Amino acid sequence: MKKEEFKQKTYDVLNELADYITKLEDKAGEIAEDAKEEYQARLENLKEIKNNLSAKLEEYEQVADSKWDVVKDSAISFFASVADAWKENFGKVAEAFKKGKNEECCDDDNADTTA
């Protein structure tokens, strides 16, 4: 992978991650009460991942093109670990949404008793 290609892919992921975080923040009110603490922790973790990725990108941008081959494996490895962490956190956040929806649909307090 060339340095410019790596930078572009990293910027794409950063933008996608920022959009995803914004959407999660907008939907925070839809989370079940007992899942909100974990949801917030996961959201903070995603923000930390984004910040780490942004910092690493700045660091890699300072590397001279002639030295890119030396740090390329490290950059790709870091990028892969970010992707794995993002997937894990995405799954946990999705579980929090499912938990909230299941409680709403099946809670006796929310049942329609007029029938």
pLDDT tens string 42-80: 889 889 888 988 888 888 888 877 788 778 788 778 777
pLDDT of residue 99: 62
pLDDT of residue 102: 53
* pTM over cut 0.85: no
pLDDT of residue 46: 86
pLDDT of residue 42: 83
Gap between the Cα atoms of 56 and 109, Å rounded: 49
Gap between the Cα atoms of 72 and 76, Å rounded: 6
Gap between the Cα atoms of 72 and 54, Å rounded: 16
Q: Report the alpha-carbon angle 79-61-20, nearest 5.
A: 45
